[in-house]
Each structure stands twice: as C-alpha cells, then as structure tokens.
Amino acid sequence: MLCPTCEHPKSDVLETRASGDGIRRRRQCQACGERFTTHERIDRKTPLIIKKDGTREPFDRDKVLAGLRIACRKRPISARHLEEAASRVETLIAAKGTAEVPAAEVGNVVLNQLKSMDLVGYLRFASVYQEVQSADDFLELLQPWVGAREGDGDG
Ligand SMILES: [Zn+2]
C-alpha cells in the first residue's frame, strides 16, 4: 500500500477496526508521516456457473434461495435460515476464487447446507439434483443420519 502523498511503500498501522463487511486500518507513512486509511474486504465477485450443457451464466443467489425454498417447502425451517444458507453458499462459491465453477459443485455446496438443516429438504434436493434412481442411492444419501450400514450380503 503506497502512501498517497509520497508513494513510500511502508506504513505503520495505528489502528485496526472491523467495519461491516471488512477491516479498516488507520496507517501512518514511515517516510513523510502522512496518515491515511485502508479498507480490506472479502472479494464478493462470484464466478460464472458452467451448466450441464456447457453454457455459462452468472451465479445467482436468488436461484439458490429459490431451490432451498422448494426443497424445504412445508418444513419447519424459517425464512431467515434459508436466507442465511443462501448467503453461505454465495460466500463459499466466491471463496473458491476461480472464474468459473461447474453447476455440480454449486449443487454440492447447497446439499451440504441442507444436510445440516433438514433431512427431508436434503433428500428432496438430492433426489432432483443428483438424479437419484434407486433405493441404494437413497440409502447412500441417508448415510449422514443412519451411520454405517449393517448386514451386507443377505440378499
Ligand atoms: Zn508518505
């Protein structure tokens, strides 16, 4: 960070403060003594999503929220929880720091959020999203709740 007055590269941090979506630092130039403020924040630029057919579209938090709402319809999950989950998905996708993310990865992030929220919502989303076709697929999805499977091979 160059001093705005003399462009000296080194400054002392006088004060650090959290502010809303980031951190503010009050600095003093080691050369000329000029005081200035810098503001660090998380880069919220979200990547493009690569869809199954190869087309790209911007990440859309509202679409994630809509998906969560459908998955948790008539479930005891508050609107606020769904909003928070959608925000977490957005943050996690942005944190990947890549220009493009396959839609499948977004789906997995959403599933992980549902996994900790609601079993029924999780299964609903997974059955649509992961194209669950057999009972075995469902049992696999249930793993986080039922633990290890028992009684192999008595078919
Ligand atoms: Zn300076």
> What pLDDT band is residue 148 in, cutting at 50, 70 and 90?
very low
Collapsing DSSP to helix, strand or coil, 56 comes out as strand
User: Is the predicted pLDDT of residue 35 greater than 90, yes or no?
Assistant: yes
Q: How far is the CA of 20 from the centre of ligand 1 (A)?
A: 28
Q: How far is the CA of 38 from the centre of ligand 1 (A)?
A: 14
Summarize pLDDT for 120-135 with one digit per residue, the tens: 888 888 887 766 666 6
pTM over 0.75? The answer is no
Hey, which bits of the chain come out as E strands? Answer: 11-19, 22-29, 35-41, 48-50, 56-58, 100-102
Q: How far is the CA of 11 from the centre of ligand 1 (A)?
A: 8
pLDDT at 137: 67
Collapsing DSSP to helix, strand or coil, 145 comes out as helix
pLDDT at 135: 66
Q: How far is the CA of 86 from the centre of ligand 1 (A)?
A: 43
Beta-ladder partners of 23: 18, 40
Summarize pLDDT for 52-73 with one digit per residue, the tens: 888 998 888 888 998 899 889 9
Q: How far is the CA of 24 from the centre of ligand 1 (A)?
A: 19
